Amino acid sequence: MANTEILELVSTNKVFDGELRKYKFKASLSKTPTRRRLTMASATAHVPLLVYLAGLTCTEDNGAQKGGFFGPAAAKGIALLFPDTSPRGAGVEGEDTDWDFGVGAGFYLNATNPAFSKHYNMLTHVTLELPQVLGAAGLPIDLKRQSVFGHSIYERKVHSSIPSSFDLGGHGALTLYLASKTNQYRSVSAFSPICNPINCPWGQKAFKGYLQGGTTEAAEQYDATELIKKRTDPVRILIDYGTADNFYKQGQLLPENFVKAAREAGHDESQVQARSQDGYDHSYFFISTFATDHINFHAEFLL
């Protein structure tokens, strides 16, 4: 099915009449080391692609195992791509010291801090390298039709003292969509994303570590609220967040800032919809509840 010189098949599972395949390949464009893998389910030939960005400490497996995306995606005929969240085994000093920075926390940016800039290039990896590899491998994907969505949930139970989840993938999806110069993605959706990372501690820590220019540099390219202010063309954005989400309650997510900026830039409800879901938290139970909604939202623009 795929050119095996480009993509090496790691495992395969049949699911909802489609196939979930895990591949590994040698990243050259983003210079991330081996062990980079991707997982994809595709129902029929030349289907559009919906990219799912997982969150802090996650891998390419979390969304595939717990998201509940395969049923609705198969019903619509949309392929799903689950990239990993960071390089693995890059060997950068300090990359595995913290749970919220480095391995498992690539933040979907291209690092400019010299210590990380060789390997931590998740922006290039997701937006350029993966589509190139999928195309070169001859997979039955129509790369002219792409959308992106994301969430994150903290999974490494070994650290019981730290927060149980963190929204990296939603942030990644929004910023990749909004910052694209080529309108690479037709639509974006996010489950309880961090919407204004330059104004929250996790974002500030990551940007300081990865970027020479810190939050000032980040505001240009990696902050959804800053980015929406500059978009004057029509956008297609769906956000869901739960009122029982502790990070929302702590003011880490700040969807209100994003919606306010969007409205001020002229994007109404038909372009930017942020739904407050009563009583839901930050877990995959929340995500799976609204999985079908999100797939159907993207299907509108992909099919």
Q: Residues 23, 283, 295, 299: which binds its own copies (CB under 8 A)? A: 283
User: How are strands ordered across the β-sheet holding 237-242?
Assistant: 8-15, 18-24, 37-42, 79-83, 47-53, 141-150, 188-191, 237-242, 272-277
- Minimum gap (Å) between residue 252 Cβ and its own copies: 19
- Taking CB under 8 A as the binding criterion, the range among 7-15, 83-91, 136-144, 231-239 that sits at the site for its own copies is 7-15
Question: Which DSSP string corresponds to 86-105?
Answer: S-SS---TTTTT-TTSBTTB
Least distance between its own copies and beta carbon 261 (Å): 29
Proportion of the chain in helix, strand, coil states, percent, rounded to 5: 35, 20, 45
**Main-chain dihedrals φ then ψ at residue 64, nearest 5 degrees:** -65, -35
Residue choice 63, 68, 102, 203 for contact with its own copies (CB under 8 A): 68
- Comparing CB distances to its own copies, the nearer of 39 and 127 is 39
Q: How far apart are the C-alpha atoms of 223 and 284, rounded to whole Å?
A: 24
Residue among 117, 281, 296, 301 that touches its own copies (CB under 8 A) = 281
* Catalytic residue check, 152: yes
245 classed as catalytic: yes
Is position 286 an interface residue for its own copies (rule: CB under 8 A)?
Answer: yes
Q: Which of 23, 70, 210, 258 touches its own copies by CB under 8 A? A: 70
Q: Which among 9-17, 84-92, 110-118, 253-261 is the span making contact with its own copies, rule CB under 8 A? A: 9-17
Q: Which residues contact 129 (CB under 8 A, 6 or more apart)?
A: 27, 28, 29, 30
Backbone angles phi, psi at 241, to 5 degrees: -140, 150
Kind and range of the H or E run holding 216:
helix 214-221
When the beta carbons of 49 and 153 are compared against its own copies, the nearer one is 153
By CB under 8 A, residue 271 contacts its own copies: no
Strands (E), 16-83: 18-24, 37-42, 47-53, 79-83
User: Could you say which residues in the range 205-244 bind its own copies, by CB under 8 A?
Assistant: 242, 244
By the rule CB under 8 A, 246 interacts with its own copies: no
| Site of interaction with its own copies (CB under 8 A) | 13-17, 20, 65-66, 68, 70-71, 242, 244, 279-281, 283-286, 288-289, 292
Q: Which residues are catalytic?
A: 152, 245, 282
